[in-house]
């Protein structure tokens, strides 16, 4: 079952850590009003970047670089079908909101879509 990140989207900059597949990861989200977009950095416990300034785009894998350093799966932003927005807004991203961030293990991705890329 995918892990859903608890993303309280009221602050323009927020950070937290969580453990994914036994690895502590640090997340930093930044809202950029000029582009009306959330951006994400993910680093390892040692400060190694896994994701830098990734735009939160629905149905797009967030981890594309440094795959050897992070967990085997990937993070995705999913949009509820009833949402009128195309991109994740400042106040509609998080648990029980229109846009949610989930982590899928490699096995879950293969079962769901047949690939891990």
Measured in degrees and rounded to the nearest 5, phi and psi for residue 109 equal -65, -40
Burial class of residue 51, CB neighbours in 10 A (0-12, 13-18, 19+): buried
* pLDDT band at 52; cut points 50, 70, 90: very high
Q: pLDDT for 1-46, tens place per residue?
A: 888 887 766 788 989 999 999 999 999 999 898 988 889 999 999 9
pTM: 0.81
Residues 6+ apart with CB under 8 A from 113: none
Burial class of residue 88, CB neighbours in 10 A (0-12, 13-18, 19+): buried
Task: Output the pLDDT for position 3.
Answer: 87
H/E run at residue 113: helix 106-113
For the sheet with 23-32, list strands across it.
13-20, 23-32, 37-44, 49-55
Give the start-to-end residue ranges of the domains of the chain: 3-113
Task: Output the pLDDT for position 57.
Answer: 86
């Amino acid at each position: 079952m995918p892990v859903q990140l608890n993303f309280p989207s009221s602050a323009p900059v927020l950070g937290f850590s969580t453990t994914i597949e036994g690895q502590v990861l640090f997340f930093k989200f930044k809202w950029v009003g000029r582009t009306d977009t959330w951006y994400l950095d993910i680093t390892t416990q040692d400060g190694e970047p896994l994701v830098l300034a990734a735009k939160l785009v629905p149905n797009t894998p967030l981890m594309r670089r440094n795959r050897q350093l992070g967990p085997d799966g990937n993070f995705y932003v999913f949009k509820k079908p009833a949402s009128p927005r195309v991109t994740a807004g400042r106040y509609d991203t998080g648990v029980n909101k229109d846009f949610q961030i989930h982590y899928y293990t490699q096995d879950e991705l293969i079962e769901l879509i047949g690939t891990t890329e």
